[in-house]
Structure 1
Amino acid sequence: MHARAASRHGSSDPHQEGPVDLRLVAPALAAWAAAAISLGVPGGGVAVAVGVAVLLAVGVWWVAVVRYGAGRGPGAEEGDGITPRADTDGRGPTAPRARSCGVRSAGTLVALAAVLLCAGAGAASAALHASDVRRGPLPALAEKFAQVTVELEVTDDPRLTRPKVRGSQRTPPVLMFTAEAVRVTAPDGTVTAVRTPALVVVQQRGGGSDATPGPAADRVVHEPGPAHRDAAREGLWSAWRGLLPSTRIRVVARVAPPLSPADQVAAVLRVTADAPPVKVGAPTALGRLAGSLRAGLREATDGLRPDARALLPGLVVGDTSRVSPDLDDAFRATDLTHLLAVSGSNLTIVLALLIGPPHLASRVERRGLAPRLGLSLRGTAVVGGALALAFVVVCRPDPSVLRAAACGLITLLAIGTGRRRSLLPALAAAVLLLVLYDPWLARSYGFLLSVLATGALLLLAPRWSTALQRRRVPPRIAEVIAAAAAAQAVCAPVVAVLAARVGLVAVPCNLLAELAVGPATVLGFAALAAAPVALPVARALAWCAGWPAGWIAGVARTGAALPGAEFEWPGGWTGGLMLAVVLVVLVPVGRRLLRRPWLCALCALAVLLAVCRPAPFTRVITGWPPPGWRAVVCDVGQGDGLVLAAGDGTALVVDTGPEPRAIDRCLTDLGVRRIPLLVLTHFHADHVDGLPGALRGRSVGAIETTTLEDPPGQAQFVRTTAAAAGVPIVRAAAGERRHLGPLSWEVLWPPVPPDLPGPSKPGAPDSQEAVLDGRNGSEALDGPNDASVTLLVHTRGLTILLLGDLEPPAQRALWAAHPELGAVDVLKVAHHGSAHQDPLLIRRLAPRLALISCGAGNPYGHPAIGTLAAFRAQGVRVLRTDTDGALAILGTTARLSAMVSGHRSLRPQAIGGRSRASPAVDPGRARLMPGDPVRARSPPGHPA
C-alpha cells in the first residue's frame, strides 16, 4: 500500500486528501454538553436523566442487533458485519441495495447508542464532581460567614491579582490559589474530615487602597511607617507566594459563599497575611522538583530586560507571575495570550526537536536528535513519553496542563504516523476522556478555545493552505498564514463573548510572533534543564532566549499601540453568534476575492487604514476629532481625563482617568504627541491610574500635582511612574499663571500650605503676586477631593473652569478666596456631577455649557438628578460622557459649539448665549502675569 500511495511520503502523508472521520465527534460533544448542564442541576435530576439515557442506549443497541443484525460475527459478510437475511417471500437473500441500507441504519443506531452512553457518562461524572462542592460543612458555614480553622492542601500556584479601580480607590492586589479543605474545625469546635474544593484569598492587613500597581513580582503594599515594617510585610507576602502545590497548611479564615452557585469551589476562604502560613505537611517530591525547576528558570532570567524577563517563564512553563499589567494588556489586544499559557505547541516543539519532521517520524529516514543518539523507534517513543511526563510535572498536573499535554501529544502522534484521518478522532477522544476525568472543563472557556483552535488547525487550515498555494503562495508561508487565520476565525466569536471586542491585528501579530516562538521555547527549556546543575550555562541560554522573547513582546506592544488594533463588539453569547454569522458570510466572500488581485489589494488597503487610522483619514470618515477643537473631555469611564489644544500635536492634559488604554486611545485619536504639562488634580485612582497610557510614546515635559499626597500609595504610584519615564514632578501653586501657545491658565486652588510658602514652592512663579494667601481656605482641605487643583483656562476667547472633585465646603472657600471670579463659558462639573455641589457657586458661574465626565452604569448614580436639574433650571446645556461619549468644545465666546463622539450626531451643536449679562472673567484677572511659560522636553524643531 505504501508503494501505491500517490504521495512521495507514502500512504501516511498527512497532506493526502480523504473523507473526514466524524464518528467520535458526536459522542464527545454529547459528553461535553451533558457535563456542562449537569454541573448546575441537582443530583436527583441528573440520576434520573442518566438512567433514562442508559435505558435508551440499551434499547437502541438491541434494535440495531435484532433488526439489522449489527455486531454478528459468524456468518456475517466480510467487510460489513451484517448477516444476509432471506426475504419474507422466500426469494432469496436481500438485494445489495437493501444490505447497504441495513448497514447504514445499523451504524446510525450504534452511533446513537454511543452518543447516549457518553452523554450519560458525562452527566454522571459531572454529578459526582459537583457533589464534592456540596459535601461537608463548608457550604453551610459560608452562608453564615463564619470564622473557621481549616487544614488545606494547596492545588495551584498562588497568583497575584491585578489591582482594579473602584470609584476613587484602587483595590489592593491579593493572592489567590485553589486548595482542597481536608479538615474543618467549626466555631463550636466540631472537627470534620472532608475533601472539599475551596478558593483561598490572602490579603495583607491594613492593605486598603494603597497598593502600588506594577509587575506582579515587584508589587508590594505601601503605607506610612518605618522601612522595617515594609520589609516585614514583604517577607510575609513572599512566604505566602512561595507555597508549592501539594503543601498542607493550616489557616484561620472567614468563610464566604462563591460568587456563583455554579463555581467549582464550595467556599471562599479569606485569610489575613499577618503571619507566615502554618505548614503541616511538606509538598511531594514531584512538587518540590517542579518548584525548584521553575525557580531555577526565574533565577536564570533575572538579568534579562524587563519584557524578556517577564515573558520567558510564561512561554516555557506558563509562569506569568512577572508579567506586568501593560504587557498583559498588549497580549490581550493582539490575541497572543495563548503564548502566556501552557499549550500543546510547547510540547510539540520539544518533541519535534527529538523526532524531526512529523511526516518522517516513523520512517527509516527520520530526522531530529533521536537517530543521532542511536534511539530505535520504540526508544524514541519512550523518551518522548518521558518528556511529556516531565512537561506535565513542571507545568503542574492541573486540568489545563493535562489538556495541553493531551492535545500536543495527539496532534504529534497523528501527524507523526501520517494518518490525517485519525487527527479529528484523536482530538475527539481526548475531549471525551478529559471531560469525563474533569467535568469542570466543560465550562472552561480556555478549554473551549483550545479545542476550537486545534480543530481549526485540523479541518480548516489544510484546505485554506491548499487554496493559497493554488494562488502561488509558497507552501510554508501558506501553511503558517492558513493556520493563524483559521485559529483566529473560530476563536474570535468566543473572544467576543468574553471581552466584547474584535481584534484586527491578531493574524499578522501571530505570524510575526511565530517566528520567535520556536527558538524561545527550545532555548527556554534548555535553560530550565540546565539551571539546577549549571546556573551560568542556564543564564547564557536564557540570554539567548531573551532575544526572541523580546521580539514577541515587541510585536505585542507594537500591535496593541496601533489605533485600530481592536474595536468594540457586542458581548455575551448574542454578540458571539453575530460575529460567527459574519465570519461564515465573509469566508466565501474571501475565496472569491482571492481570484481578483486588485480587489484583494483594495481590501488590504482598507484594513491597513482601519488599523493605522491616520488622522486625516479618520477625520474624513468619522468626523472625529472635529477641526478646530479647543478642548476635549475624553470618555475614560468613571473618572476624569481632559485635553486642551495648544498647537499642532501639542496639548495640556488634565487628569488621565482610571485606565491607561482609554486615555491613550483618546490622545491618539486627537493626534497629541507632545504634552508640555500634565496636571493631576488629586491622587484618587480615577484621576491618576491612566498615567502610563498618557506617557506612552509621547514627549511629556512635567507632571504637576496637588500639594496633598493622599492616598499615599497612589501618590507613590505617580512618583514611580514619572521616575520610570524620566518626567519631573512639580507642585501646583495657587496664583500660578502659565501660557502655552493659544492657551493660558491660572491655578485657583488649593491654597498654599503655611509650611510651604509660595515663592519657594517648586513649579510656582517667583512673583509674590502669583501666590494666594493660604489662610482663606486651608481649613477647607478635608481630604483629597478638596485638594483638587482647580484651573481657570482661557483659549481663543473661551473661558473654561475645571473644578476637579471639589466638595461644597471647598467650593465655597474657592469663591471666598476669589470674589472677582465671574461667569464662565464652560464648566467641568465637580466630582462627576455628584449631588455635592454648591448652588451659590453654580449660580455665580452661570456657565453656558456644563461638562460631566462619568462612566456608564456607575454604581454611584453619577450624575445626580438634582445636579442635572439645577443646571437645566438655569438654561445651561449639559453634556455627559456616559451617554454622549467624548465631548469636544469648539468656537469662540460669540459662537460656542460642542460635538459629541457617541451615538448622537457628530454635527456641531450650537450653545445658546448667557442666561444673564455677566463678563466671562474680571478684566484685571484676564491679563496674564509675565512669567514662566510651560517648558517641556521636546524634539528639535518643536519649541515649548
Structure 2
Amino acid sequence: MLLATDNPRHHLSRLLAAVLLTSAAATTTTVLHTADLHQGPIPALATAATTTTAATTAATTAAAAEPTAAEPTAAEPTAAEPTAAEPTATELTVDLTVAGDPRGRTAHARGTAPAQALLTVPAVVDRVGATATHTPVTVLVRSQDAGSWRDLVPSTRLRADVRVAPSDDPSRHPSAAALLTAHGPPHLLAPPDLPQRAAARLRSGLRAACDHLPPDTRGLLPGLVVGDTSRLPDDLADAFRATDLGHLTAVSGANLAIVLTVLLGSAARPGTTTTDADGVIGTVGRGGLAGRLGLSLRTTAALGTALTFVFVTVCRPDPSVLRAAATGLIGLLALATGRPRHGLSALAGAVLVLLLADPLLAHSYGFLLSSLATAGLLTLGPRWTATLRARRWPPHLASAVAATAAAQAFCAPVTILLAPRVSLVALPCNLLAEPAVAPATLLGFAALAVDPLSRPAARFLADLAAVPAGWLVTVARHGSALPGAVLAWPGGLPGALLLVVVTVALCWAAPHLWPHPRPAVRDSTGHTRFGRRRRRVLAVLAAVLLAAVLLRPPALTRIATGWPPPGWRLASCDIGQGDMTVLPVSADSAVVVDAGPDPKAADACLRELGITRIPLLVLTHFHADHAEGLPGVLHGRAVGAIEVTTLDAPPGERARVTHWAASAHIPVVRAHRGERRTAGPGLSWEVIWPDEDAPAADAPGPNNASVALLATVGTGPDPLRIALLGDLEPAAQAAVLERGPPPGPVDVLKVAHHGSANQDWNLMAALRPRLALISCGAGNPYGHPSAHTVTGLRALGATVLRTDRNGDIAVLGTHRELSAATHPHPPRT
C-alpha cells in the first residue's frame, strides 16, 4: 500500500492547495456577482478585492505547503508502540501549555503484546531549556503515568521530562511537529485560565448528567454535543467510522449551524433567499430568536459572535471547529454590515485567514475534510437538489440526498488517504441519522447549560436527548454489521484519484440512466409511460444489486468469487500477524482454532466461508494475536464452548477472554493432554499438549502452554492427518515428541509460532508434513517466517504456503490426492 511508504502529508497539502485555489476562484465569481446584482462595492473595489484574494491564496498555499516539504519520510516510532530506548530520541525537560483535552485510546496489539491503554495530550512547547519556542506537539503518556495527566485542562502550563521523536503519523497527530513520550508526572507551572476552567466544568457536568444512561448513549451524547469521546466504546467508534458517521462525534460546522439557527433562524424561512448555485445562503433578514425578539442586525451579529466564541471554547478549537467558527463569523460580519451572506466567499475567507494564522492546519485532515464537505454542500448540493426535484423527488428527500451525496463526493477521495476503504452504506446511514442529529444536539446543549443550575433537570434533558442519540447508535451498529458495508479500495494517492474518476463517471452516467420524462407520448399525469416503466425497472434492479452487495449471501459470494472451493477440509485464514484455522463440520458449521488479533478480520473470514455455527472454539493460548479477535468469531454465530489452555497468562488477556465468553453465555473448558473429541462424522482430534504433569521449568511461558492438536479430517480409508502446534517453542515441541507416541507423519502441518526460527527439528522430522501452512502478517516486525524454517521444511519435502503472500489457504482432497487453493484479497484489518 502506498500509505505504508509515502508520507500522506504530501498528498494532504497538495489537496488542500487545490481546495484553496478552487475557493479563490469561487470567491472571485461571488465577489463580482455581488457587485453586479446587489449594488455592493463599486466594480473597481470588487476587482481589487478579487486580485487581493487570489494573491493571498497563492501566498497561503506556498506557506502551507512549505512545512510539508521538510517532513521526514522515513518510518518513525508511532504512538501505538512506544519503545523503552530509541537511538534517535532525545531526552529533554520542556515547558509546555496544554492545547486540548487528554484523550485515552487503546494501542493495537502486536504479536504477543496485549492491548495497551495510552493517553495522548495535544500541547504547545513554550520553552526548551533557555530557548523560547512555540511548537505544537503531541504528548504520549503511558498507562502507569496517566493518572496525573488525565484531568488536565487546556491552557494549563506544565514542566515535564520527555523523550522526543519526530511524528510521522498525520492521521493521529495532524498538527504536531513532534511526538513527546512523557516520563513521570508533570510539574504545574500555572493553572488554566478562567474560560477554560468554566468550559471544563460544563463538559464534566454533561458527562455527569449522562452517567445513568446505557453505555453506548452515555459515550455518544457528549461526543455529539462537544466532541468529548472519552467514554465512547471502541466498537461503537468503529461502527461510526464504517458507516461514515464519524463526523457526528467530531464537532464541526453542523453543530455550530444548529446552534446559530436557533438564534438566526433558517436561511430558507419565508422572505429570505435560499441557498442557490452561487452560494447565496441568506439575505439581510433573520429569523429564530433574534427575529422573534426584534433584535437589530448588529445586536444579532454581536450575540452570534459571542455564542460562536463560547462554542469554540467549550467544544475546543479543533481544526474543523475553527473552520466552522471562522466561516460563521464572516457570515455574522456580513449580517452586521447589512450585506448578503455568500457561502463560498465565507468559506474561502475562513480557509485563507486560518491558514495564514496557522500554516500547520495544512497538515490537518479534519480541517481539509470540513472545508471540502462545506464546499460540496455549497456547490454540488443545490444543483443536485434541483436535478432530483426535476425528477419528481419530494423536496425534503431531494435536499437531504443531494447534500449528503455532495459532501461524500468531495470528502471520499481524502478519506482513502486515511483508510483504503469505501463505505457502501454511508449515504443511507447518513440519511437515516439526519433527523436525529438536531434534536440530540440541541437537547444535549440544553443539558450542558442547565447542569450548573440543576443536575436533576440536566439528567431529564439528557434522558430526552438519549432517544435520538439511541437512534444514531442503532443506525451505526446495524449499518456496520452488514457484510458488505465496507468495500476495500486501493490506498494512497492512486486510490484517491481512482475514486475521483469513478465518482465523476457515476455523476455523468446517472442522468442518462434516469433521464427527464420524454416530451412525447405523455399520459394524463404528464409522465411518459415508457419513462415511468424504465425508472421502475432501474429502481428494482438497483435495489436488488445493492441488497446483494450489502448482504453478501454465502451462496452468491461463492458463485462470484469461487471461495471457498467445494470439498475444502481446512482453511487457514489470512487475518494478519496471528493464527486462525477452520476445520469444517458441515456446510455452515466448523471447529475454529484461534481467533487472530482483529475481530473484523476474523468475522470476515468466517463469513466468507459461510460459517454460522461453531460447536467448539479452541484458543491455544492467551496471547493477543490468537485471542483478541474473539468478538469477531462470536458475532452473529452460535458457539457451543470455548476450550483454553491450562496456563492463565497473560492475566489481562485471559480476563478479556473470560469476560467475552461470560457476556455471550458460553462455557469455558480446559484442554488436557490425551483428550479426544469428535464433531460430526468427518472430524476428530486428540489434544497432544499441554501436559499438566510436565515440570514448568521444562517449558515455561504462554507459548509453550499452547494447545496442540492432532486432527483427522475426512471419512473412509483415506483421511487427512493434520497437526496444529499453536505457538509451541523448542522445549515444548521436544516434550511432545518425548512423551509419545510419535505424532507423525502428517499430511498438513500448521507450523508453530508463525514459522519462527525456534523449531525442534526432531519433531519436524517425525511429522514430515507434505504441506506446511504458515500464518503470519505481511511486513510483520518479527521477521516471520524465518528463512531457515522455510528452507528446513522444504528440505523435508513439504510444500510451504504462507498467508502473508498467498492470502487465505484452503486444503482439499485426501491423503492420496492432497491439494490446496489460495484466496488473495486486500487486508481485512
Task: Give the TM-score normalised by the residue count of structure 2.
Answer: 0.83
Q: CA deviation at 1:280?
A: 2.2
In 2, the alpha carbon distance for the partners of 1:730 and 1:129 equals 55
Q: Which one of 890, 894, 897 corresponds to residue 819 of structure 2? A: 897
Question: Is 2:510 the partner of 1:599?
Answer: no
Q: CA deviation at 1:121?
A: 5.3
Contact 1:414 1:423 in 2 (8 A): no
Q: Which one of 449, 466, 469 corresponds to residue 386 of structure 2? A: 466
In structure 1, what is the equivalent of residue 401 of structure 2?
A: 481
In 1, the alpha carbon distance for the partners of 2:269 and 2:259 equals 16
Question: Is 2:737 the partner of 1:829?
Answer: no
SS in 1 for 2:574: coil
Question: Is 2:650 the partner of 1:711?
Answer: yes
In 2, the alpha carbon distance for the partners of 1:420 and 1:687 equals 61
Q: CA deviation at 1:328?
A: 1.5
In 2, the alpha carbon distance for the partners of 1:128 and 1:591 equals 43
- Any stretches of 5+ residues in structure 2 without a counterpart? 1-12, 22-40, 73-85, 273-283, 516-533
Pairing of 1:651-800 with structure 2 (within 5 A): 651-742=590-681, 743-752=683-692, 774-775=693-694, 778-796=696-714, 797-800=719-722
| Structure 2 counterpart of 1:693, one-letter code | G
SS in 2 for 1:733: coil
Contact 1:334 1:556 in 2 (8 A): yes
| Structure 1 counterpart of 2:303, one-letter code | V
Q: Which one of 416, 423, 428 corresponds to residue 503 of structure 1? A: 423
Q: Which one of 484, 495, 504 corresponds to residue 584 of structure 1? A: 504
Contact 1:35 1:125 in 2 (8 A): no
Q: CA deviation at 1:381?
A: 3.3
Q: Which one of 17, 25, 30 corresponds to residue 33 of structure 1? A: 17
Q: CA deviation at 1:184?
A: 3.4
Cα-to-partner distance string for 1:428-459 (whole Å, 9 max, x where unaligned): 11111111121111222221111111111111
In 1, the alpha carbon distance for the partners of 2:469 and 2:454 equals 22
Q: CA deviation at 1:484?
A: 1.1
Q: 1:372 to 1:287 in 2, by over 3 A?
A: same
In 2, the alpha carbon distance for the partners of 1:888 and 1:317 equals 49
Cα-to-partner distance string for 1:513-540 (whole Å, 9 max, x where unaligned): 1121111111111111111111111111
Question: Rg larger in 1 or in 2?
Answer: 1
Question: Is 2:192 the partner of 1:270?
Answer: no
SS in 2 for 1:170: coil
Question: Is 2:140 the partner of 1:201?
Answer: yes
Question: Is 2:97 the partner of 1:153?
Answer: yes
In 2, the alpha carbon distance for the partners of 1:366 and 1:201 equals 46
Contact 1:348 1:412 in 2 (8 A): no
Cα-to-partner distance string for 1:224-275 (whole Å, 9 max, x where unaligned): xxxxxxxxxxxx63441100001112222333444489985454332234x5
Q: CA deviation at 1:751?
A: 0.6
In structure 1, what is the equivalent of residue 792 of structure 2?
A: 870
Contact 1:34 1:120 in 2 (8 A): no
Contact 2:577 2:596 in 1 (8 A): yes
In 2, the alpha carbon distance for the partners of 1:841 and 1:658 equals 28
Q: 1:540 to 1:266 in 2, by over 3 A?
A: same
Question: Is 2:159 the partner of 1:250?
Answer: yes
Contact 2:331 2:342 in 1 (8 A): no
Contact 2:138 2:178 in 1 (8 A): yes
In 2, the alpha carbon distance for the partners of 1:396 and 1:713 equals 34
Question: Is 2:816 the partner of 1:816?
Answer: no
Q: 1:881 to 1:34 in 2, by over 3 A?
A: closer
Cα-to-partner distance string for 1:38-89 (whole Å, 9 max, x where unaligned): xxxxxxxxxxxxxxxxxxxxxxxxxxxxxxxxxxxxxxxx97659xxxxxxx
| Structure 1 counterpart of 2:225, one-letter code | V
Cα-to-partner distance string for 1:660-680 (whole Å, 9 max, x where unaligned): 110011112222222232111
Q: 1:193 to 1:778 in 2, by over 3 A?
A: closer
In 2, the alpha carbon distance for the partners of 1:291 and 1:731 equals 49
In 1, the alpha carbon distance for the partners of 2:623 and 2:676 equals 25
Cα-to-partner distance string for 1:772-819 (whole Å, 9 max, x where unaligned): xx24x6543221111110011222222221100111221111111122
Question: Is 2:103 the partner of 1:178?
Answer: no
Question: Is 2:787 the partner of 1:803?
Answer: no
Q: 1:413 to 1:789 in 2, by over 3 A?
A: farther
| Structure 1 counterpart of 2:17, one-letter code | A
Question: Is 2:297 the partner of 1:388?
Answer: no
Contact 1:158 1:177 in 2 (8 A): yes
In 2, the alpha carbon distance for the partners of 1:130 and 1:251 equals 30
Superposition CA RMSD, Å = 3.3
Q: Percent of pairs identical after alignment?
A: 54
Contact 1:359 1:418 in 2 (8 A): no
Q: 1:368 to 1:260 in 2, by over 3 A?
A: closer
In structure 1, what is the equivalent of residue 356 of structure 2?
A: 436
In structure 2, what is the equivalent of residue 115 of structure 1?
A: 54
Contact 1:414 1:426 in 2 (8 A): no
Q: How many residues align?
A: 745
In 1, the alpha carbon distance for the partners of 2:780 and 2:89 equals 28
Contact 2:301 2:336 in 1 (8 A): no
Q: CA deviation at 1:403?
A: 1.4
Q: CA deviation at 1:824?
A: 1.6
Pairing of 1:479-628 with structure 2 (within 5 A): 479-595=399-515, 596-597=534-535, 598-628=537-567
In 1, the alpha carbon distance for the partners of 2:511 and 2:335 equals 27
| Structure 1 counterpart of 2:817, one-letter code | R
Q: CA deviation at 1:370?
A: 3.8
Pairing of 1:357-368 with structure 2 (within 5 A): 357-360=266-269, 368=288
| Structure 2 counterpart of 1:568, one-letter code | A
Pairing of 1:304-343 with structure 2 (within 5 A): 304-343=213-252
In structure 2, what is the equivalent of residue 9 of structure 1?
A: none
In 1, the alpha carbon distance for the partners of 2:377 and 2:721 equals 60
SS in 2 for 1:563: coil
In structure 2, what is the equivalent of residue 297 of structure 1?
A: 206
Contact 1:361 1:416 in 2 (8 A): no
Q: CA deviation at 1:508?
A: 0.8
Of 256-265 and 680-689, deviating more is 256-265
